[in-house]
Amino acid sequence: MGELGVFIILALVTLIPAVVVVTSHNIVRAALSLVPSFLGVTGLYILLQAEFVAGIQVLIYVGAITVLLLFVIMLTEGGTGVRLRQVNEQVPLGAMAAVWLAFVIIVILTRTVWPIGAGSPPPYNAVAIGNAFMTDYVLIFEATSLVLLVSLIGAIVTARGEE
Amino acid sequence: MSWALELLKAIGLTLVIFTFLAVVTAMIGVYAERKIAGWIQARLGPKHVGPQGLLQTIADTVKLLQKEHITPRRADVLMFNAAPVVVAVAALLDWVVIPFGTLGSRVLVVRDINIGVLYFSAMASITVLGILTAGWSSNNKYALLGGLRSAAQLISYELPLALGIIWAAMVAGTLSTVGIVEAQIQQGGWFLFTLPPPIGRLGAPFGILAAVTFLVAATAEVNRVPFDLPEAESELVAGYFVEYTGMRFALFQLGEYGEMFGMAALAVIMFLGGWAEPHLAPYLWVAVALGAVVLAAVILLTARHSLIIRPVLILAVLTAAVSLLMSVGIHLPSIVWFLLKLFTLVFFLMWVRWTYPRLRLDQLLNLSWKVLLPLGLLNLLATGLILTLGGR
Amino acid sequence: MLAESAIISASMPKVLLDWFYVAVFAVVGTLMAVLPLAVVWVLAPRQDSPQKTTTYESGVLPFGQAWAQFNVRYYLFALIFVVFDVEVIYLYPWAVVFRQLGPVAFVEMLAFLLILLIGLVYAWRKGALEWV
């Protein structure tokens, strides 16, 4: 019962700033509204007892990606905030598409039978993840380093290519 | 029903930690910094307010509380006000995972979170956002520039910081702060000097390298000299908090001091054995006491300024007293050991601050990316190799 | 194994209780941080004048064009930081299980780190790590 209440609060903390991100006129405020949204997701992870994932969510999303976004925004303006135009001619079409998509998602969510796994989450999340990486999912783990390398090289090439 | 009990306990512990931080870091820490700065610069530091100037910080706080809050024109008010709070709260949240000692069989920590040190690292990364917001919302080009440079510095040093933490977590086999201290107790030596048996003392270079990496990165994370270019008084007129007056400014400083003490506390936990008392034979303790007295005598006889007589005497007496107690077999409570180590480390950090000149921004970033990051990674690999080869 | 500092209530797993404390800490901490600001709001004078609210600058500086050229290095640093931050979060679980799993885990991480060290060397050689 308490868990449902906490879930609702966390969902609101995630969704309301997300709406602000999408609709705000002030681009810096929009970017900063991501932070409570990410923190809401962190809370949801904790509710699922995935604390390691929650920790890295804060570390990466709040600590790195938001900073990256803010760098880009603050460096391409250098002054007053740009006021974004929020509506254009395609609003009716967009609204119809959004409503249809919402309908489809709600139908799927309510009609699927969600299987609940047996047992409880591992008591020490990081150990379980580490074991999984090193044994069952080694290939994916190594492939991840390749993906990171490629993205690093790509980013450098793209950014420096302007010289 | 247990909800309410836990809630009360949580609030109570928060207030205890907050009081500790307010008294130790704000009052004593600021006073100590100014006194030590004075001695290093051959002057006295605060002396007038209260006995020996001890009430100086209280006087300053009272003064700041009634300074006007000026908000610059066209500053984004919400962000401008939120930024110092974010920085202060991030520093405060660090302390949830710091264990202070043991009382019987209970560990004195707010919560021993399973991912303790990862949580600490995450809190350190939240500070960056507060600083960026402060720089931007001041609507001031100097502040923005200072904020951006500070953010660049902070993110560059987060990596060596994390590498130092991961080194300790690897040797201990756990991310929990209490677990790391207990691992050091179990192996009978600090991670700074010893690795688990059978490697023992041979692992000292790796421990020292990891500790140095962590401490350098921690100094940079707190924007302290030699890494305080973003707030350099002579260059950017206090950088990202130039537009902040009165108590808001004080909140930034409190955040910085709280974070510095927090980093030092984590270093004590990861490398200096936390609350564990050093294991030395009684005769060694007597030797330490004698050595302290001899060293103090030498310093006093060769001192050029009479300023340092009193602090040197106090330190010598303290060291001798502690060592003699240990040699007789009277054990000090673990929290005393933790605080002793913490204050010693903070003293070293302050010593460094007033000794070294400031690094230029490109020197600073080079140090992080080209020296500390590769060294940290290689240290991890080397220690991993040794631990693998050395068996359990 | 570890000494507990609080009673684990039967209805809540330790994990949730841990983070409940963190949440309370955050809320109370924010109140504690806001408290002095509230005191100032009560005590301090408030006289706005045009001189006081003017942005602090030593003079008028034209910044318009100068910014565009300096963008890239901040952005590059943040990008490279993101990539290495993701790498670091792979190191955390490895560090925790490393000693239980033996040499295999070491070799796997060695491969992972070598690939990323190649990336660091590339960034270094391409001058992406230079500030000037």
Structural domain boundaries, residue C121: 66-132
Q: In terms of domains, do A106 and A150 share one?
A: no
Residue B307 has pLDDT above 80, yes or no: no
- pLDDT, residue C8, reads 43
Residue C69 has pLDDT above 70, yes or no: no
| Gyration radius of chain A over CA positions | 20
Kindly state the average pLDDT of the residues B18-44. 82
Residue A78 has pLDDT above 70, yes or no: no
Q: Is B361 inside any structural domain?
A: no
Whether C52 sits inside 8 A of B70 (CB atoms) is yes
pLDDT, chain B, mean: 83
Q: Between these two residues, B208 and C64, which has the higher pLDDT value?
A: B208
Kindly state the average pLDDT of the residues A111-118. 82
- pLDDT, residue C63, reads 53
* B163 in reach of chain C (CB within 8 A): yes
- Show the CA angle centred on residue B190, arms to residues B186 and B196, nearest 5°: 55
Whether C47 sits inside 8 A of B68 (CB atoms) is yes
Q: In terms of domains, do B204 and B171 share one?
A: yes
Q: Between these two residues, B72 and A101, which has the higher pLDDT value?
A: A101
Kindly state the average pLDDT of the residues B89-116. 87
b/e per residue B173-208 (b: at least 16 CB within 10 A):
bbbbbbbbbbbbbebebbbbbbbbeebeeebbebbe
- pLDDT, residue C7, reads 40
Q: In terms of domains, do A41 and A59 share one?
A: yes
Q: In terms of domains, do B230 and B297 share one?
A: no
Q: In terms of domains, do A48 and A79 share one?
A: yes
Q: Is B363 inside any structural domain?
A: no
Residue B331 has pLDDT above 80, yes or no: no
Q: In terms of domains, do B62 and B75 share one?
A: no
Q: Is A63 inside any structural domain?
A: yes
Q: In terms of domains, do A140 and A85 share one?
A: no
Residue B185 has pLDDT above 70, yes or no: yes
Q: In terms of domains, do B35 and B169 share one?
A: no
- pLDDT, residue B80, reads 84
- pLDDT, residue C3, reads 34
Q: In terms of domains, do A25 and A59 share one?
A: yes
Q: Is A117 inside any structural domain?
A: no
- pLDDT, residue B232, reads 64
Q: In terms of domains, do B16 and B83 share one?
A: no
Residue B392 has pLDDT above 60, yes or no: no
| Nearest CA-CA distance, residue C123 and chain B, Å | 10
- Residue carrying structure tokens 């040794």: B386
Whether C88 sits inside 8 A of B176 (CB atoms) is no
CA distance linking residue B258 with residue B247, whole number of Å: 16
* B16 in reach of chain C (CB within 8 A): no
Q: Which residues of C touch A123 (CB under 8 A)?
A: 14-15
Q: What percent of chain C has pLDDT over 70?
A: 72
| Interval B289-302: pLDDT, tens | 888 888 888 888 88
* B325 in reach of chain A (CB within 8 A): no
Q: Which residue, of B66, B84, B119, is where some domain finishes?
A: B66
| Interval A3-19: pLDDT, tens | 888 899 999 999 999 99
* C73 in reach of chain A (CB within 8 A): no
- pLDDT, residue A39, reads 94
CA distance linking residue B353 with residue B224, whole number of Å: 7
Q: What is the ipTM of this complex?
A: 0.86
Q: Between these two residues, A77 and B128, which has the higher pLDDT value?
A: B128
Q: Between these two residues, C70 and B157, which has the higher pLDDT value?
A: B157
Q: Is A137 inside any structural domain?
A: yes
Q: How confident is the model at residue B50 (pLDDT cuts 50, 70, 90)?
A: confident
Q: In terms of domains, do B202 and B308 share one?
A: no
Q: In terms of domains, do C73 and C112 share one?
A: yes
Q: Is B269 inside any structural domain?
A: yes
Number of domains chain B contains: 3
Q: In terms of domains, do C82 and C129 share one?
A: yes
CA distance linking residue B28 with residue B15, whole number of Å: 18
| Interval A15-32: pLDDT, tens | 999 999 988 888 888 889
- pLDDT, residue B231, reads 67
* B88 in reach of chain C (CB within 8 A): yes
Q: Is B219 inside any structural domain?
A: yes
- pLDDT, residue C4, reads 38
User: First-to-last CA distance in chain B?
Assistant: 46
- pLDDT, residue C88, reads 92
Q: In terms of domains, do A69 and A37 share one?
A: yes
Q: How confident is the model at residue C55 (pLDDT cuts 50, 70, 90)?
A: low
Q: In terms of domains, do B195 and B309 share one?
A: no
Kindly state the average pLDDT of the residues B351-375. 87
Lookup: tokens for C129: 């790590």
* B90 in reach of chain C (CB within 8 A): no
Q: In terms of domains, do A126 and A108 share one?
A: no
Q: In this structure, what are the phi and psi dihedrals at residue A114, rounded to the nearest 5 degrees?
A: -90, 115
Whether B388 sits inside 8 A of C63 (CB atoms) is no
Q: In terms of domains, do B23 and B138 share one?
A: no
Q: How confident is the model at residue C64 (pLDDT cuts 50, 70, 90)?
A: very low
Q: In terms of domains, do B9 and B135 share one?
A: no
Q: Write the single-letter amino acid at A65.
A: I
Q: In terms of domains, do C34 and C93 share one?
A: no
pLDDT, chain A, mean: 85
Q: In terms of domains, do C27 and C78 share one?
A: no
Q: Is C40 inside any structural domain?
A: yes
Q: Is C57 inside any structural domain?
A: no
Instruction: Please answer whether residues B88 and B258 qualify as being in contact, where contact means their C-beta atoms are separated by less than 8 angstroms.
Output: yes
Q: Is B17 inside any structural domain?
A: yes
Dihedral sign, Cα of residue B145, residue B146, residue B151, residue B152: positive
Number of domains chain C contains: 2
CATH number at residue A54: 1.20.120.1200
Structural domain boundaries, residue B57: 1-66
From B114, B144, B155, residue closest to A67, measured CB to CB? B155
> Of B33, B336, A141, whose CA–CA distance to C93 is shortest?
A141
Q: Which residues of B touch C12 (CB under 8 A)?
A: 2
| Interval B332-344: pLDDT, tens | 788 888 998 999 8
Q: Is A47 inside any structural domain?
A: yes
CA distance linking residue C72 with residue C78, whole number of Å: 10
Chain C interface, mutation test: which of B5, B65, B105, most C Cβ atoms within 10 Å?
Answer: B65
- Residue carrying structure tokens 């000494």: C3
| Nearest CA-CA distance, residue B358 and chain A, Å | 25
All chains having 3 or more CB pairs closer than 8 angstroms to chain C: A, B
- pLDDT, residue B251, reads 85
Give the DSSP letter string of B165-215.
HHHHHHHHT-S-HHHHHHHHHHHTS-TTT-BTTTTBGGGHHHHHHHHHHHH
Q: Is C115 inside any structural domain?
A: yes
Number of domains chain A contains: 2
Q: Is C103 inside any structural domain?
A: yes
Q: In terms of domains, do B134 and B22 share one?
A: no
Kindly state the average pLDDT of the residues C1-28. 68
Lookup: tokens for A82: 């740009």
**Cis ω for the linkage preceding B282 (within 30 of 0):** no
Q: In terms of domains, do B213 and B333 share one?
A: no
Q: Which residues of C touch A31 (CB under 8 A)?
A: none
* C66 in reach of chain B (CB within 8 A): no
- pLDDT, residue B168, reads 92
Q: In terms of domains, do A93 and A140 share one?
A: no
Q: Which of residues 107-146 of A touch B (CB under 8 A)?
A: 124-126
- pLDDT, residue B173, reads 87
Maximum average pLDDT range among A46-50, B73-77, B324-328: A46-50
Whether C76 sits inside 8 A of A148 (CB atoms) is no
Q: Between these two residues, A79 and B378, which has the higher pLDDT value?
A: B378
Beta-sheet pairing, B102-103 with B106-107: antiparallel
CA distance linking residue B15 with residue B260, whole number of Å: 20
Residue A138 has pLDDT above 70, yes or no: yes
Q: Between these two residues, B189 and C92, which has the higher pLDDT value?
A: C92
Whether C78 sits inside 8 A of A64 (CB atoms) is yes
Q: In terms of domains, do A134 and A73 share one?
A: no
Q: Is C15 inside any structural domain?
A: yes
Q: Is A142 inside any structural domain?
A: yes
Q: In terms of domains, do C34 and C74 share one?
A: no
Q: In terms of domains, do A77 and A11 share one?
A: yes
* B86 in reach of chain A (CB within 8 A): no
* Weakest-pLDDT range from B97-111, B369-383, C64-78: C64-78
Q: In terms of domains, do A65 and A131 share one?
A: no
Structural domain boundaries, residue A25: 1-112
| Interval B364-386: pLDDT, tens | 888 889 999 999 999 999 988 88
Q: Is C127 inside any structural domain?
A: yes
Q: In terms of domains, do C82 and C122 share one?
A: yes
Q: In terms of domains, do A2 and A20 share one?
A: yes
Q: Between these two residues, A112 and B200, which has the higher pLDDT value?
A: A112
Q: In terms of domains, do B118 and B152 share one?
A: yes
Q: Which residues of B touch A32 (CB under 8 A)?
A: 79, 129, 133
